[in-house]
Amino acid sequence: MPEEIKTSKSSPLDCRILIIDDDQDFAASLKLILESENYQSLLAYSEEEALESVVKNDVDLALIDIRLGQDNGIDLIPKLKKIQPDILCVMVTGFGSVETAVQALNNGAYDYLRKPVNPGELLATLRRGFEKIRLINEKQIMEGTLSEVEQQIEASFSQAAIGIAHLSLKGTWLTCNDKFCQIIGYDQGELLKISIFDITHPDGVPNIRKMIDDLLTGNVQYFSKETQCLRKDGLPVWVNIKISPVSSPSGQPLYFILFIEDITKRREIEEMLQNLVKDLAEANQNLEDFTRTASHDLQEPLRKIVSFSDRLRNSMGDKLDSKEKEYFHRLENASIKMQKLIEDLLRYSKISSLAPEMESVDLMKVVDEVLLDLEVSIERSKGIIEIKRLPEIEADKTQMRQLFQNLISNALKFHTKTEPPRIEIDSLRNENGRWELFIRDKGIGMKEEHIKRIFKPFERLHGSSEYPGTGMGLAICLKIVTRHHGKITVKSSLGKGSLYTVELPEKQN
């Protein structure tokens, strides 16, 4: 009966050798030679036993005697390979000739040994055989890995979310994926009958021809462009197209690989946004023009109201009773308030419509000038203002004066009745290289829910009789800071004061 062993292979010595010979003594001697070299070996004394052993065991190499009793060892080779296709067969005989050796090799034998077998020749033959087995195994593993990679590449190609195609050097299509066909509107069979020029908008054909020439001559290695293609139904479709050549190892261009992404919806959205921005800009300009014109036109009748009411009061003199005098007083106050409102509107409109005149501005000097302008208000309120440091930045000097004047005026105005205003002004450069300007007061402060309202035009948190003003000061500050590519924020607590932070770049881009 044939022997049966089951082990796992980790080296050539783990490979199994089947000795097939009806001469049991000779077979035993071969087994001793192999075991002395730590090879695993099995014995079979007939064709039937040999076939049974190969069925039960993973045999790598068979040493086959040409004569097996009534059977021919050469005829056994294809029977063994039918069971294990990769088995190596080495013929061993003392009766063979050149013709039988050729017949054995033609039947699938790997090598041929003559009896009596030289142990060194036998072992050398085995080493060569097992090296061949190793190479075959590695080849199978590599082919399996390559097949998996090819399948993955094919799946990625066919299932990609963008269109992918291969283009010949002349511009005809070689292959494409489903997404490409979906974007262009052709099926693959139709597409392979046309060229890239047939799906290119006529205006873009010269650019595509130049692109192919530049890629072939090596002037560019990669081409990317947003352009229009024509679908099969004749409708244009906007695509982002990317093309690069695929070259041989020697650097010779073989074909182009092309990626396209349908950006029609994106282009439509961009166009819609551009139109909206344009309409908004026109609306803003019209509003600014109206505000400037209306404010300017309102000043003349307002001056007449003030002038004629003053004349009327003077002409009537002592004829006015106390109630009528109160009416004139209210008329004058309303006129003054209206005049300030118009002035603020004009100022806001001017800041909105005119580009800032940028220059190097020393903010310390700006604040000094503002404090001189506010000298009367500071003395009247007994305010204390501490300036620590301010930088020199690129800005519109006039607008910087307006910014600080509004912020300091606010701090002077909104102070508690029991304590004079105290204001601290400081700055630092933040981690982004921009300057942060701090204006801190210890005034009345405000509730957190009111903070978002204060930068809106005409927004007031207090009555005009308590704290006079038009509600435009902080709106003007926000407009100035925005025009200087900065931002303004405020932190405040009711009864504890406010901290205004203005962030501005040192240089205007």
pLDDT of residue 341: 66
Return the pLDDT at 156: 59
pLDDT at residue 351 tops 70: no
Q: What share of the chain is helix, strand, coil (3-state, %, to 5)?
A: 50, 25, 25
Residue 1 has what pLDDT? 47
Helix (H, G, I), strand (E, B) or coil at 22: coil
More confident residue, 299 or 486: 486
Q: Within 10 Å of residue 13's Cβ, how many Cβ atoms?
A: 12
Least confident of 5-9, 71-75, 241-245, 376-380: 5-9
Q: What is the pLDDT of residue 363?
A: 93
What was the pLDDT predicted at 155? 62
Residue 97, judged by CB atoms within 10 A of its CB (0-12, 13-18, 19+), counts as: exposed
Q: What is the pLDDT of residues 140-171, one digit of tens each?
A: 778 777 766 666 656 656 666 788 888 888 88
How much of the chain exceeds pLDDT 70, in percent? 81
Q: What is the pLDDT of residue 248?
A: 85
- Lowest-pLDDT range, 226-230, 455-459, 495-499? 455-459
Q: Is the pLDDT of residue 422 over 80?
A: yes
Is the pLDDT higher at 293 or at 391?
391
Q: pLDDT of 251-276, one tens digit each? A: 888 899 888 888 888 888 888 888 88
What is the residue-wise DSSP string for 354-408? Answer: SPP-EEEEEHHHHHHHHHHHTHHHHHHHT-EEEE----EEEEEHHHHHHHHHHHH
Q: Give Cα separations from 415 to 324, 345, 367, 408, 491 (angstroms).
A: 34, 26, 20, 12, 16
Answer with the residue of higher pLDDT: 308 or 3.
308
Sheet holding 435-441, edge to edge: 384-387, 422-429, 435-441, 497-504, 487-493
- Could you tell me if 415 and 421 are in contact, meaning their C-beta atoms sit under 8 angstroms apart? yes
Token match 């203005």: residue?
502
**Average pLDDT for residues 75-90, to the nearest whole number?**
89
**Weakest mean pLDDT among 102-106, 129-133, 343-347:** 343-347
Give the residues across from 103 on adjacent strands.
none
Higher pLDDT, 13 or 116: 116
The owner of tokens 């902080």 is: 474
**Of the spans 126-140, 187-201, 441-455, 463-477, which averages the highest pLDDT?**
187-201
pLDDT (0 to 100) of residue 294: 62
Q: Report whether 62 contacts 88 (CB < 8 A).
A: yes
- Whether 128 contacts 100, CB under 8 Å: no
Tokens of 187: 């099926």
Helix, strand, or coil (residue 248)? coil
d(CA 149, CA 153): 6
- Taking the C-alpha atoms of residue 182 and residue 233, their distance in angstroms, rounded to an integer, is 12
Residue pLDDT, tens place only, 3-24: 444 443 445 566 789 999 888 8
Residues 127 and 112: their CA atoms lie apart, in Å, by: 14
Closest CA to 80 of 60, 106, 102: 60
Query: Could you tell me the two tokens for 465?
Result: 């009789």
Strands 16-20 and 40-44: parallel
Rg (alpha carbons) of the chain, rounded to whole number = 48
Distance CA 383, CA 408 (A): 10
Provide the 8-state DSSP code for 315: H
Average pLDDT, the chain: 80
Burial of 63 (0-12, 13-18, 19+ CB in 10 A): buried
**361 near 394, Cβ under 8 Å?**
yes
- Per-residue pLDDT band for 479 (boundaries 50, 70, 90) equals confident
The CB density around residue 315, as the number of other CB atoms within 10 Å, is 8
Report the run of H or E that residue 189 belongs to, with start and end: helix 188-191
Q: What is the mean pLDDT of residues 75-95?
A: 87
